[in-house]
Chains A and B, each alone.
Chain A
Amino acid sequence: MSVDFCGLRLAHPIINGSGTFDAIGARHAFGDALHSAFPFAAFVSKTITLAPRAGNPPPRLWEAQAGLINSIGLPNKGLERYMSEDLPELAQLPVPLITNVMGSTAEEIAELLRACDTRKEIAAVELNVSCPNVHTGLDIGADPAQLERVLRSVRPALRKPLIVKLTPNCADVAECARAAQEGGADAVSLINTLRAMALAPAGAHGRERSQSLAWLGGGTGGLSGAAVRPVALAQVAAVARRVSIPVVGMGGVQSAAHAHQFLAVGARLVAVGTESFRDPAVASRIASQLDDEGPPT
């Protein structure tokens, strides 16, 4: 069930969601078996920023009802060390590499895209627009006009396919997708995590009353996992109706049947995220079942 995606020929339509699989860390846990049985048809890196980020203070996780709230804070080595240390290792993966980047101004984003443009190891770039604008505080991707303006200004910096990872935390995700298409995106991906909060259990870890009620070190976090799947399906369907560029659908996919649902409402590719935490090899099974069964009749 090979598939064309922005000119990339992929072996099957299952990839990973950014930030849900660390191919370098996983190789330390599983060795070469990871590469010989690599579960994804393309690998999407975690988000890379210009400057290194340590990430948010712990606790970073909360298990919700059939889901996970995370407040990881995009820890990464920064662009320079990603290029020098991680790219050579990621280039050994048996599948195309999609590098996910995030910047808080158009200038930062353009610099990230220019750097990715020069490296042949990178097949495509995914832009995370769930980042507050440094001037307005609004997520760049939450405002269609701002999103289109930023994309128009940065798009010339990259000759490779550009995927825009939309934020679900906005008024009208289909309108944001249309703006991304107008701004020059070659594809859109969604959903990112839904903004969510968990309160600390009473008496947890000796927290004093004066401290925040929030459990997560970052205050709020993002909800993912099975719990978000119906929301994700609705957003992917709405986006696929509005745009003509390919759509990468994701959100709570646990099985080939779920992947079929996203394909049925118009996704070209389907990403697996939180379910890989439960079983790192699940995407292989989903891909092979898609192949065996074909779409449900």
Chain B
Amino acid sequence: MTVNNPTIPAGTDPSRPLAPFGRRLLTVTANKPLGAYRILHAADPDGPAPAAGQFAMLAAAERWGAGEDERPYLPRAFSYARWVAGEAQFLLEDVGPGTHRLCELREGDGLWVLGPLGRGFTAPKDARRALLVGGGVGIAPLAGWQDELGERATVLLGFRDRAHAAGAALLGDALVASDDGSVGRHGLVTDLLRAELDRDAHAGVYACGPPAMLEAVRALCAARAIPAQLALEAGMACGFGACFGCVVPKRDGGYLRICIDGPVVDAAQLDRIGEHAGSPA
């Protein structure tokens, strides 16, 4: 099989891992609760190992495309939270038929995976420190990125309440804000970000979370000329550039496809980030 080491087409990032062509059947090795979330582990012995910020399309091998509502039908896009020693990890929150089915998976169940897909994070330049800003289930891609950056990274996370804030344990040593004040600072993660930037603005920002949070991060960084990389999400049918469904407007007109132009996008490419998310997951 040569598919694990495909040649990189001209014009693409030569360091970016490419997905084998076709989905592959993995075996779930664990599905552990973490507050309001679950961490789904799957053995992925042939990889390839993703770069931090890349994603995969997931579907359960059984009871996917059946049931009384015939949903879920399409695979769902998830950032890799981590990929360690041949095991992929994804952070789940039960918010719709697809995520509900994935949350039900148990050790030994089959999981269809297509990935790693898309473009991940790139390291900060000019000795800037890295500020990792996550909201809710959007903290997932920051875990592997923190592993890679180590001491250079400061982690700021926001959650709605105590049950969700338990998700902060996915990362190490995070400053937390909560909407209801039950954990950490009473407020938004962007309040934490503003304070960090006031203290030391020589930083690069890496953010993933709901659209309103990303828009606040984008606007804050744009006003202070701070470089920011945003990991975006949208309803996505395929994950590999075919469906043109997962678009976000560009600053200079037209649209980016989140799946192949992102999911990690330089914030300077974007205009205001609207509520563009797709079907319920």
Residues of A within 8 A of B (CB): 19-22, 24-34, 36-37, 46, 54-55, 57-68, 70, 72, 75, 201, 205-206, 225-227, 274, 276-282, 284
Beyond A36-B2, A278-B74, whether A61 also contacts B242 by CB under 8 A is: no
Q: Is B238 an interface residue (CB 8 A)?
A: yes
B residues near A280, Cβ cutoff 8 Å: 21-23, 114, 238, 240, 242
Determine whether the beta carbon of A58 is less than 8 Å from that of B240: no
A206 vs B114: C-alpha distance when bound (angstroms): 33
Determine whether the beta carbon of A72 is less than 8 Å from that of B65: no
A residues near B254, Cβ cutoff 8 Å: 54
The residue from A60, A274, A281 contacting B244, defined by CB atoms under 8 A apart: A60
A26 vs B244: C-alpha distance when bound (angstroms): 12
Q: Is B275 an interface residue (CB 8 A)?
A: yes
Mind listing 13 A-B residue pairs with CB under 8 Å?
A22-B242, A33-B3, A34-B21, A36-B2, A54-B253, A59-B235, A60-B244, A62-B279, A66-B70, A72-B245, A225-B73, A278-B75, A280-B21
The residue from A33, A226, A281 contacting B73, defined by CB atoms under 8 A apart: A226
Interface 1/0 per residue, B105-118 and A, CB below 8 Å? 00000001010011
Q: Report whether over half of chain B's contact residues are helix, strand or loop; otherwise say mixed.
A: loop
Residues of B within 8 A of A (CB): 2-3, 6-9, 12, 18-23, 59, 65, 69-75, 112, 114, 117-118, 234-249, 253-255, 257, 259-260, 274-280
Determine whether the beta carbon of B234 is less than 8 Å from that of A25: no
CB distance from A260 to the nearest CB of B (A): 20
Q: Closest chain A residue to B11 by CB distance?
A: A28
Q: Closest chain B residue to A198 by CB distance?
A: B279
Determine whether the beta carbon of B241 is less than 8 Å from that of A22: yes
A149 vs B19: C-alpha distance when bound (angstroms): 47
A80 vs B21: C-alpha distance when bound (angstroms): 31
Determine whether the beta carbon of A29 is less than 8 Å from that of B117: yes
B residues near A277, Cβ cutoff 8 Å: 74-75, 237-238, 242-243
A residues near B234, Cβ cutoff 8 Å: 58-59
A68 vs B255: C-alpha distance when bound (angstroms): 21
Determine whether the beta carbon of B70 is less than 8 Å from that of A26: no
9 nearest interchain CB pairs? A25-B241, A31-B6, A281-B22, A205-B275, A66-B70, A61-B245, A277-B238, A29-B240, A65-B70
